[in-house]
Structure 1
Amino acid sequence: MTENRSRANIFIEQNRFSYIDILRGIGIFFVVLGHIYYNDVAYRWIYSFHMPLFFFAAGWVYKEKPIRDDIKKRLQTIVRPYFCFGMATILYWQLFEKSFRSADISFIQAIEGLVSGMYEHLSFNVHLWFLPCFFIVTVLFNALVRIGKKYRYDLSFPVVLCMSAIYIFAGLPSLPWGIDKAFGYILFYKIGSFFSLSKADKRLQAHPISYQRVCIVFLLTMSFFFSYCSINQGIMWYVTAMLGIVSAWIFSVLLHKNRILEYLGKISLVILCVHGPVYRILIKVVSILLCWSTDAVRENFILSLLLTVLTLALCGICFQIIKRFFPWSIGRQRKKAVV
C-alpha cells in the first residue's frame, strides 16, 4: 500500500512539473519571437513578462538544499554552461559575426565581458546575461531559506521584499553577474515558490475549465493593456509581469500535456544560449533569398513566426549534438555504455 502511494505521489509530482516545462516552453518561444520580430506593440508586451516567467518557473520547482550542495549543483548546471557557451560564441563572433555586426569588441574585451557577466559587456551573445543573474538569485534564495530555517523564521520573505523595494525605488548601478537585476527578479522566484507550496495548480484545477479560460482572457487583456500603455514602471512592472506569467501558467495547467512545449521547456537553457547566432543567420539567408532588407524580414509577422519555429527546431538539433558529444557543457554526465 505504501509503495503504491509513493508511486502515485511521484506521478502527481511529474504531472505538476510537466506544467512548468510547458510554461518554460511558452516562455522560450516568446523569448525567440521577441528577439526576431520587429514590432513595438509586440515588443512591449513580450518583454513585460518573458524573463520574469523563468524566475517564477524556477521558484516553482525549488527544493531546499544544504548551501554547499546547492552552490555545487548551480556551478555545474548554470555557471559551467555560461562559460562554455560564452567561449563558444566568442570564438564564433571573432571568426564570423564580428565583420558584419555593429558592435566592435576585441577578443580580450569579450573575455572580460564574459567574466564580468554584465549585460552591456556581452554584445557577442547578450542573451547570456540571464545565467549569472539566475545563479545569484537561486543561490541567494536557498541561503536565505536555510538560514531562516535555522532560526525558525522565514527570512526569505522580508529580505526579498527589501531587495525589490531597493530595485524599484532606489535603483542600482550595473553590477557584475547581474547582481543589480537579481534584486528585481528574486521576487518572481519567491512568488513561484509560494505558488508551488500553496498547491495553486490543484486549486485552479478544482474550478471548471470555462472559469480557467475566462481567467486567461481577462489576465491577457490586462497584461496587454498595461504593457501597451507603458503602465509597467516601478511597482507596476511586477503587476504587469505577473499578469502575463499567471495567464501563461493557467494556460499550461489547462493544456496539461504538450510534448513539443514540454521539450522546448526542458532544453530552454540551450535555446537561450544558442538561438542568437542561429536566428541571425536565418534572417540573413531569408533576406538574400527574398531580396529584402533584414529589417523588412523582421517586420513581417508571418516570416518572423516561421523563423521562430525554424530557430527552435535548429536549437533542438544543437541540443541533441551537445547532449551526445559535450554533455559536460550543460552540466550532464556522459552515459556509460552497458557492457
Structure 2
Amino acid sequence: MAKQFSTNPDALRIIRGVGGNYWVRSASGEELQVQAPGIFRNQAVRPMPGDLVLCEATSDELIPLRMTDITERSNELPRPPLANLDLLWILIPLAKPEPDLWMLDKMLTIAYAQNISCRIIFTKQDLVDSSACALAEVYARAGFVVNLSDPTSHALHEELRSELHNRFVALAGPSGAGKSTLLNAILEGDYMPTGEISEKLRRGKHTTRHSELFPVRGGYLADTPGFSSLDLAQAGVTEESLVQSYPEIWDKQNDCRFLSCKHLHEPGCAVRGAADIDAGRLERYQAFRELLEKDKAYERKRN
C-alpha cells in the first residue's frame, strides 16, 4: 500500500471540491482555496479530494494558490470522487437493518481493485445472539480484518483511533449501520468537536455533489456516499480482480478440473464443490456469481 502522504514535502492535499472549486490544507493547518488551471480541463484531468497537488502562489487574495501538477494517485473512486485512500472502514449492521452481504462483497471487490485496504466492522453486536455473530467468522476465515462492535467496544475504539493517525480513512456502509455512533465513540475529545464531524458526515450521506476530508488525529476522515452504487467496471474491477477479491475462491481454483473454469456452470468446479458443503462459503459464492454476472452484463452493454 502506498504511503498516506506524499514524499514530496511541497505537496498539499485537496480536502474539498465543490463545483470546480478546490481547497487544500497547508502544513500549518490552514485551509486555502486553489485554482485548477484550464489546461487540466483541456486534458480531461479532474482533481479529486484526497489528491496530493503541487501549487504556486497567485496574486489573488481570495484564491492564493494555483495547481501546477497532481501527483500520481495510488487509487481513486469516481463516486464520490476520492483519491489516495489508505484504508476503508466498512460498517455492516448485524440487525436493524439486516446485513446486506451482497453490498459488503461488492464494496470489498471494488476496494481490492483499487488497492485499498479494508477493515470490516459488524455493528450492533448487542442486538443479536452469538449465532448471528458467526457471520464475522466467515469473513475472518477468508482473510479479512473483521471486528464486532457495539457502544461498549472500548478496546476496538482505541484501536481505530490509533489507525487514524497519519492516514486517509474513509467510511462506507448502508444507512443505519451506526456510523454516527462509532464516530461519537472513537472521536471523543478530539480537537475538532465530535458532533461537528458526525453532523457533517451525516449530511454528506444525503448528497453526492461533493466530498470532503476532515482532519482527525494527524490524518483525514471521509464518508463515501454513493460508493456502493458504483458499477464494477466503472470502479476498475476486472474479471481477474473480482476472483482475486475472494481469497477462498482464488485459493481453490487450482483444484478445478479445467484451467479456464469460470466457477459458474463448468463440471468439476472445486469452488462450487466447496461452497456446497459450507454454508458460509455458499453465501459468499452466491454473491460472487451475482457480481460476476452483473460485470459481464455491463461489459456486453458497453460493447
Q: Under TM normalisation by the shorter chain, which class is it?
A: under 0.3
Which structure would you say has the larger RCO, counting Cα contacts within 8 Å and 6 or more residues apart? 1
TM-score (norm 1): 0.23
Considering fraction of residues, name the structure with more strand.
Answer: 2
TM-score, scaled to structure 2:
0.25
